[in-house]
Structure 1
């Protein structure tokens, strides 16, 4: 199965290449320099709208059981908030695959090349000549790419701005991948919500501000014609502001689920235990029941304490079917009521719902500020390279952030999160399964602390980039100055030509030649 997933991702990566990164180079080559930030912002907005729609679709699919159509859901004894619940993930893949095929059709009608913006304002002859020269230049660049590959690689590796920006991107992508990939799991464990609800909230609260930030960032760059050096300072200040806001998430915290034998004591209800101690799973009230200690089928007692199974709660009989089942005469439930329990973990306190709203508000503000800095920051990368190196440079930049950011980050971050697991599930064959419950305090330290450390180190690299930009002459500035110098020389020659050809001696000489 994992081979099928890997091959599918490989094909998807090949399909993404014409848009990202080659599409950005395409826009940068054929658009005016003041317009390209806005166009790239629109492209990035489209890249965010896709995940937004995908998350909303995933939220709906997560409410459907994975074996829909072949299992009677009325007989299920697990709810949406249960960690054993698996949604119908495969429906989203089928829908998105069909949409991808439809959206690929317009790309077949794109022209092989486009006239650069601004040429249409000149005379028709000049326009056609410039278009022809541009085509020849592009054609020569295409045929010379193979022999120019090593020189381009050497030029890029000797470009300190490019190298440092790539390192900066790798560090920040590591931080972003960790935060975004494990956010649903973190919010589920921290605030006790279902997967479907969490995915919906992430899509609604996080992605629209990113779209707006990309568009506004591109419009600001176009409207005020901000130089690359100013854009670098703007991106640094905005990103640093978002980084400081990120630490507010330490304030919106909740305690672990109160589970007897894991995070709370049987004898003293809701007294938290810092670590999992296996011998505490069994107590005097359930020793005679011969319960399995590895079973995870949690129930919530009417005393507000959860138990790993109805057996460990000391329940003697049950009433009802499916998720409406009620367990009665539970000896471990110490309460003045009827000592009953229902399926599922007990809900967390109402304060957790309020803290979740605070977390999402901070997320909205942080996503907007960070996306506002993305377009100015990305223009530093594009403008620090020569025009003929942009396709290769953008491609290598994307390659490095995906290889050193997208691949290892979920692996080592997931391994660290697994170390916070309090109880592992067990498969039917006896092998360990998925984690059923985490120590949320340790989880929080890793989820917030490690990305903060990686992102914080990236600002040290940013400071070096800002210092280099002070004395660094960007290729675009060099190209423009050389073009202005060539234009001045051409103007001088034309004026000399007009002075000479407009003189009386030249007119008389021309008349004699005409008569002869």
Structure 2
């Protein structure tokens, strides 16, 4: 009993010292729960794999009890080894062939540009929505998962079903992917309308009289009402006055005393708060109002429609990537495409995008050692121009090479665009009008693969 009482006392003291709420930008919640949930899901999905046999029988290999199966399986393994040696030997020939494939190379360029845009949007979306609409990070992440993941999954499924049901050809798939992506791109400009003003913080975005500032000026942090308080100007413990104006700290609000403890603390007799009330303040920033909350709902609805439209065209677009290569090049081509997206898009994009967003910071936090910490307040107008403008510019630039792909595809003949009786060898017709750099001498392994008449 004594131990339990001591634990309760420590928890009470801890909560008593806590002066920030979950809506505060400094709040760090149970971030580790997401890792536990993902780990549990991965464990559950791995269970069926334990029931697979050690080796899978190949087609035509049956256990007839006379040793024939072992001989066929051994022969099949030798054949696989020879093919693997041929693939390794012809690696540079495959690379040269892919580099001379104009549709494939332009598709990689488009993918890199698009990944740069989308990585930036999704990486910094919680921070943007938090600053734009005044919601907590936990609430924003929950709304993103609730509103955006289902339409993305649904779009992928429906896109795949449409491709299979109507047997869409490669050229038609390219047009479908292009127009759906362009429609979603034009729809994204509606987000510029769903905007809110900066948080009204005295000395940062507004004056102590409530007049908005066009730019941040360091000297405006102090005013006549708080100069005698000897306040620190680099602290960030925001309070909301009953006049609807926020202050960086209770000291800068000119408050003389406080009532209550923890998150229920109320500051009174604040000389900088000019209101008809008792000039008091509570912890946290002031809310942006119901109008801004409604704009967040409209923004999420537009995001739902946009995510669905874009994911609907993702499968036709990926089909163009697969079918613009010959069968022996597919594995290397897909790997090279993914490699370029991760290296040229996934790594540098958050770095330069984050550096641009940091330039819009109005107030940096300070660590106990005196070093600068995380940004506490952004100029939301500059933030919005970078967050929405840069991805829009990148995606707009990607549609120009996409038009070149549509033009180039008219010069090629793909499997499915001709009668089934004339598909003999379909893959070679794909490259019949390619440039001379693809006419390389192939090894016997490549020639045998080309003579299989494999359909893409």
TM-score (norm. length: structure 1): 0.74
> How big is the shift at 1:97?
3.0
Question: Structure 2 residue aligned with 1:471, among 406, 411, 415?
Answer: 411
Q: Is the 8 A contact 1:181 1:410 kept in 2?
A: yes
Aligned to 1:258, the other structure's residue is in SS state coil
Matched, 1:296 2:217: no
Q: Distance in 1 between matches of 2:136 and 2:58?
A: 52
Q: Is the 8 A contact 1:384 1:475 kept in 2?
A: no
Aligned to 1:471, the other structure's residue is in SS state coil
Aligned to 1:211, the other structure's residue is in SS state helix
Q: Is the 8 A contact 2:415 2:423 kept in 1?
A: no
Q: Is the 8 A contact 1:187 1:193 kept in 2?
A: yes
- Structure 2 counterpart of 1:424: 364
Aligned to 2:423, the other structure's residue is in SS state helix
Question: Structure 1 residue aligned with 2:168, among 217, 226, 230?
Answer: 226
Q: Which runs of 5+ in 1 are unaligned?
A: 1-67, 120-127, 486-516
Matched, 1:157 2:99: yes
> How big is the shift at 1:115?
6.6
Matched, 1:93 2:32: no
- Structure 2 counterpart of 1:175: 117
Q: Distance in 2 between matches of 1:439 and 1:254?
A: 11
Q: Is the 8 A contact 1:385 1:474 kept in 2?
A: no
Cα distance, 1:424–1:105 mapped onto 2, change above 3 Å: same
Aligned to 1:242, the other structure's residue is in SS state helix
Q: How does 1:195-210 map to 2 (within 5 A)?
A: 195-210=137-152
Q: How does 1:145-294 map to 2 (within 5 A)?
A: 145-266=87-208, 268-269=209-210, 271-294=211-234
Q: Distance in 2 between matches of 1:238 and 1:464?
A: 17
- Structure 1 counterpart of 2:446: none
Q: Which runs of 5+ in 2 are unaligned?
A: 1-9, 61-68, 428-456
Q: Is the 8 A contact 1:383 1:476 kept in 2?
A: no
Q: Distance in 2 between matches of 1:379 and 1:272?
A: 52
Matched, 1:329 2:264: no
Cα deviation per residue 1:90-132 (whole Å; 9 max; x = unaligned)?
232244234434433544627766879xx9xxxxxxxx9xx99
Cα distance, 1:99–1:205 mapped onto 2, change above 3 Å: closer
- Structure 2 counterpart of 1:84: 26
Q: Is the 8 A contact 1:386 1:475 kept in 2?
A: no
Cα deviation per residue 1:238-266 (whole Å; 9 max; x = unaligned)?
00000000000000000000000000111
Q: Is the 8 A contact 1:416 1:446 kept in 2?
A: yes
Matched, 1:384 2:314: no
The CA RMSD over aligned residues, in Å, is: 2.8
> How big is the shift at 1:272?
1.2
Cα deviation per residue 1:159-191 (whole Å; 9 max; x = unaligned)?
111111011001001111011111100000000
Question: Structure 2 residue aligned with 1:449, among 375, 381, 389?
Answer: 389
TM-score (norm. length: structure 2): 0.83
- Structure 2 counterpart of 1:436: 376
> How big is the shift at 1:350?
1.2
Q: Distance in 2 between matches of 1:110 and 1:440?
A: 57
Cα distance, 1:349–1:157 mapped onto 2, change above 3 Å: same
Cα deviation per residue 1:284-308 (whole Å; 9 max; x = unaligned)?
0000000000000000000000000
- Structure 1 counterpart of 2:280: 340
- Structure 1 counterpart of 2:339: 399
Aligned to 1:199, the other structure's residue is in SS state helix
Aligned to 1:428, the other structure's residue is in SS state coil
- Structure 2 counterpart of 1:39: none
Higher helix share: 1
Q: Distance in 1 between matches of 2:364 and 2:340?
A: 35
Q: Distance in 2 between matches of 1:465 and 1:135?
A: 40
